[in-house]
Structure 1
Amino acid sequence: MPEPIGFSKPLGGQIPETRHAISVSLPTWDDVVAFADKDPRVMCTLKGGYPRFVLHRDLLAVSKLCLESSTNRDLGLPVDAPVGARSGINCLVFPSIAYATDCQEYIIPRSVAATANQQQQQVIVRRIDFAIEWATNKIPGADEGPMWETIDLYAVFYPMEHHDLARRFWRITGTGISSRLAEDVLKGMTKFGATRVETFDRYNRELSGWSPHRIIQRRILSLQQKGVSMPPQPLGDSSRIGQIVYLYPTGMAAIYSLTKMLRSWRGTNAVVFGFPYDSTLRVHEAFAKDHLFYGHGNTDELDQLDAHLENVKSVHNRTIQYVWCECTSNPLVRTPDLDRIRDLADKYGFLVIVDDTIGTMANTNVLNVADIIVTSLSKSFNGRADAMGGSIVLNRLQQRHHGQLRRHFSEPQNTRYTDSSLLYHRDAQQIEHNSRNYLSRMSRMNRNAARLVDMLTPLAGPDRALKCIYYPRDDPHYRGRMRQQTLGDGFVPGYGGLFTLVFASVGLARAFFDALDVCKGSSLGAEMTLAQPYVQTVFPRKKEWAAQYGLDEAIVRCSMGVEDVDVLKRVFGLAMEAAEKAFTGSPCANARH
């Protein structure tokens, strides 16, 4: 029997084995716990990691270059300061002035090390100009020789004591430069220099013709519109597509940018409905105008939201800005009643924003409920776990707000966040290439997940090692969003590649996870199966808080890949045997620890 594509990797190995992998192998439960604790035993082995959480070695090298290339004045040091003074300064590098100054503005008020004026001098943004050699081939109609391009990056310099704040901004917002951009800077850089930020505007690469960016934008729009009657607008109109679909360096950068742009949208506050991806909630906590959180996303909380909306309208004659929700959630794969949310939006005049990353644009259709659709392209759309990206789509089907949103996005304070070239062109090339077989890959993922859930369901119960399985097949709200099959492409919409196993105890979850012979690391939607003890990874310090919203610490999230399903069934079967053996063989196995 052949081994699965996603066979278990050694501790610290990249998943996949490529320079730009976005996951890293943590093959045992103890490795995951040690990673959360930053245990040197694990940290010293890591060859990579999810880019928002583990700084890529090329990013660190570019940061070092920015420090070395800058004068003392650039760094906020006295002109005659000794070289050793630089050891107390660090920097992070961003692809745009907007993201860099936002990082600066995030650090300054949260630091208590000095007064605001002193901090303003210490936290400094500088433009760093890099000249990169792209090619040495002869270009038709031109002399043979290298092609050069100037890349303008923006470094935020800060005292070392502010590093945790800077890294928090980087981690939450996903707005830093990509590893491919860093790689190109290191390989092709011939000169560099710092410039005061007051003297320049954002360097804006003009997207022309059918660039990889435009192809991705068109592909997203085409997939979301499959089988849906839309207002007239030819998909072949390249310029107009760029005013409907916006691309970003990561999915979180898309979420962050949208949150920033909607701060000035009319209304009192934002609502996050249903338990979202952790960083989504953190973005709203830190950057939304104000927000309300309904973490269960059930009927009772919809009733509470309805009452709140009526109160805001009757007392203040206002409404909220928007409701943010997911189709479906991560990792509990729950979908709220989007039809009722749409009805409330039509009644009270707020926006509906839906993140369809987990449900996927292949399987679900949210055009009849969402004003704005947000997607992490890093997941199933890219499908190879080797590139990061995100998108925002303004839904033309919801005509009530569409024109106003397009005008709002084009206002000067917002155009800083709508430049699709923020998705670095080599990342765009990789995502465009990988997404060509998106539907066939999703078909395999859908099928593999369904077959594994069918196999595991008889093994689950209140008196078993496996208590239950979260999978959207039995969720009527998800089924109501499933896309209708269309003729021509042969794709049959399904329930996605994600399911979550809930064990009777942490000890049993550990036994299962340690015996499971697949790739084990962060991310999802990749062609290789990935397993992750979600709460241990995402909420290691907030387990009790997460538990009140149904996130038990004894859960294992499973993202199915495209491996041979019979091999996957054997691998999962052996892991379940290990969990059941621990359940029946040890009186301590069922205790919570």
Structure 2
Amino acid sequence: MALAVEPLNQVDVGESIPPLTVHVSQQTMLDLLKHYLTVFEAVSVSLPTWRANVGYEEGEEWVLSKMKTGYPRFFIHKSIQVFAAAIADKYGKEGEQAILFPSHAIASRCSDFFKKLAPELNEQQVRILDLLPASAKERSEEYSIISPKISAVFFPMDKFSIAKQYWQHSGDGVSSRRAEYCHNLFSKGLLVDASTITSDDTSRFCKGPRRYQRKTSMDITTNATSDDQDSTQFVEQRFGRNLDLSMARNAKLACRRRIAGHLTADVELSDALRLEKDLTRTRHVADFSEDDVYLFPCGMNSIFNSHRIAMALKGPLRSVVYGFPYIDTLKVVEKFGPGCQFYGFGSTEELDDLQKRLEGGERFAALFTEFPGNPLLKSPDLERIRSLADKYDFLVVVDETVGNFLNVNVLPYADIVVSSLTKVFSGDSNVMGGSAILNPKARSYGPLKRTWDSDYEDHHWAEDSIFLERNSRDFVSRIERINANAEAICDVLRAHPRVKQVNYPKYSPTRALYDKCRNPGGGYGGLLSATFYSKPDAVAFFDNLDTVKGPSLGTNFTLSSPYVILAHYNELEWCESYGVETDLVRFSVGLEETNQLVGTFQRALDAISK
């Protein structure tokens, strides 16, 4: 008998979104409705009222004490915290804390960030510990797709805010699935201090969980049976899918093909890799292939690494952020280099100013922009930006997360296209991921590709890749449904006299710029925002809106938030100076039945009058 599951829109303060995101037994999970279930990493958390959002930002105990999870770059997952504490207990000194990364190179970058922000700390106070499998076999190339290793940065407890900044801005931290698996090895003595391993050390052999022992063809999806496999071997027995983790390499390839636009069919992985390229939806740039697509642990990590590569290629020059951006894009450019030229309006006048600076001899490493922007949904003039970049030799990095490649084709105007796969590409709100794509026809492609390939490390954890591939199979059909629903909600909001402004690419003053990049048959996306004539109206509407409410976007269910309060609470006046109002409410529209969704929004609007 199936268990009754609470509707998504009745999620308590601090509960994971989707709810029921817990470590549970196989039998319990089989009893739960799959739509509501995610295993280790929900990427949103419920803040269902205006007061709860403010309380969270103010650090009020009644909210913080209930937080079971949070967006993974802002809230370090509890399984990661537990693992870090275990490492600190074993290897740390008194008064030290640890934060976890997937490689020594990344840990070193975190250490460098400490040196920049706290130069008074010496090498003994900020140090790195590398943990590797005790087995030489599991350290081999054969096991590289699993890569069960961890690098811990130790630091004084009172400097945690610095470590948290790096974790949040860079997106370099380990995922909760990686932490859970590696913690299991660590607790059994099978993940050890790298300095204790000698090159000829073969005395210790780590069998590890049986899901990593079985040699499986990388081109055939396998089926689990209770006779020869334990309940940890297959993701099916934890989420609803028969896929051995050794298939992660093919899952990554399928994701890259899907991001490239070559793979759009909703089929099993074993069939997907045998299909011919879908040339109707591929990104229309000559010589482009999935070899120019790179996976990252999250979208911000793809931006962070694009910024690093831009500085490696162009030298220590400032970069430009054009248009009002997602908060951490600006922070990355400001904090991890020589600085930023910020154009927060994304206006023609600001491009005029940039052109004058360039004509006067000023040079930049890269220009970062979003298409369209978040949360005002304005579109930049990519054609003019591309022209300036070609003339004055800077890279153009376009974040297509909100638009997504099924709706818009921005690659011809960019050197690098980045995206958060956590959002609508996945949709299920249970896995993080990011991508960066290189334009093979850009003037910078040759040196950019060489620099990128020499630096790139794939740290998207194997099990995360399997979840991401599974979630993204129906990407095409979901986008079409979400586009239609968003337009319907937009029309409802625009018709109400108490709504001051609705921000949506279709009705934006920059629509012509959006349409210039819009694919034939492409829509205007699933994200919109609205402002009201008064704060009481905004609060009444939000509190009576019967959708799930929390951070993130691109979920298969409609997700709402008082976005500016949640993302910019400590810089509200600064936001207002760029036309981003404090009481703006943002909506990420999902897959609900259209009439039902329209009714939900209409009832919230009716509540304003009451």
TM-score calculated relative to the size of structure 2: 0.80
Q: Which residue of 1 aligns with 2:150?
A: 153
Counterpart contact for 1:4–1:568, Cα < 8 Å = no
Determine helix, strand or coil for the equivalent of 1:272.
strand
Structure 1 residue matching 2:424: 3-state secondary structure? coil
The equivalent residue for 1:125 is: 128
Question: Is residue 146–residue 461 contact of structure 2 (8 Å, CA) maintained in 1?
Answer: no
Q: Rate the CA distance shift 1:154–1:480 in 2: closer, same or farther, 3 A.
A: same
Quick one: which amino acid aligns to residue 231 of structure 1? Answer: A
Instruction: Pick from 214, 222, 235 the counterpart of residue 253 of structure 2.
Output: 214
Distance (Å, rounded) in 2 between the aligned partners of 1:523 and 1:4: 21
Structure-2 residue corresponding to 1:254: 302
Alpha-carbon distance between aligned partners in 2 of 1:228 and 1:9, rounded to the nearest angstrom? 39
C-alpha distance in 1 between matches for 2:147 and 2:284: 43
What is the CA distance between 1:404 and its match in structure 2?
1.6
- C-alpha change, 1:218 and 1:557, in structure 2 (3 Å) is same
Shift of 1:101: 1.0
What corresponds to 1:238 in structure 2? none
Q: Which has the higher contact order (CA 8 A, sep 6+)?
A: 1
In the alignment, residue 296 of structure 2 is paired with which amino acid? Y
Q: Is 2:322 the counterpart of 1:273? A: yes
SS in structure 1 of the partner of residue 376 of structure 2 = coil
Q: Which residue is equivalent to 2:81? A: 60
| 8 Å Cα contact 1:66-1:128 kept in structure 2 | no
AA aligned to 2:152 is: A
1:155-304 to 2 correspondence within 5 Å? 155-189=152-186, 190-191=188-189, 192-196=191-195, 211-222=250-261, 226=281, 229-232=284-287, 235=289, 241-242=290-291, 244-266=292-314, 268-304=317-353
Equivalent residue letter for 1:404: P
CA distance in 2, matches of 1:52, 1:446: 28
SS state of the match for residue 121, structure 1?
coil
Query: Unpaired segments of 5 or more residues in structure 1?
Result: 78-85, 136-147, 236-240, 314-318, 485-491, 582-593
Q: What fraction of aligned residue pairs are identical, expressed as a percent?
A: 35
State the alpha-carbon separation in 2 of the partners of residues 255 and 198 from structure 1: 35
The 5-angstrom pairing of residues 382-531 of structure 1 reads: 382-398=426-442, 400-411=443-454, 415=455, 418-420=456-458, 422-459=459-496, 464-474=497-507, 475-484=511-520, 492-531=521-560
CA offsets per residue over residues 496-516 of structure 1, 9 Å max, x none?
Answer: 000001112222211111101
Following the alignment from structure 1 to structure 2, what is the Cα–Cα distance between the partners of residues 389 and 109?
A: 28
1:344 lines up with 2:388 in the alignment = yes
RMSD over aligned CA atoms reads 2.7
Shift of 1:428: 0.6
Q: For 1:473, give the aligned amino acid.
A: K
TM-superposed deviation, 1:16: 0.8
Q: Which residue identity lines up with residue 402 of structure 1 in the other structure?
A: Y
User: Deviation digits for residues 234-272 of structure 1, max 9, x if unmatched?
Assistant: x5xxxxx44x11111111111111111221222642111
Q: Deviations over 1:313-343 (max 9, x none)?
A: 6xxxxx4222111101111111111111111
Among candidates 540, 552, 576, match of residue 547 of structure 1: 576
State the number of aligned residues.
514
What's the CA shift for 1:445?
A: 0.7
SS of the residue corresponding to residue 297 of structure 1 reads: coil
**Mind listing any 5+ residue stretches in structure 2 that lack a counterpart?**
22-39, 139-144, 200-211, 220-248, 264-278
Structure 1, residues 167-215: CA drift from partner, whole Å, max 9, x if none? 1111111111001111222345421333359999xxxx9x987521111
Distance change >3 Å, CA 166–CA 229, structure 1 → 2: closer
Cα distance per residue 1:88-144 (max 9 Å; x no partner): 2111000111221111111123126xx34xx22101111023569xx9xxxxxxxxx
- TM superposition shift of 1:531: 0.3
TM-score normalized by structure 1?
0.82
Could you tell me how far apart the structure 2 residues matched to 1:6 and 1:371 are?
A: 40
CA distance in 2, matches of 1:216, 1:150: 19
Per-residue CA distance 1:71-94 (angstroms, 9 max, x = gap) = xxxx4x5xxxxxxxx2x2111000
**C-alpha displacement at 1:8, in angstroms?**
3.2
Alpha-carbon contact 2:492-2:601 (below 8 Å) kept: no
Match of 1:375 among 419, 424, 437: 419
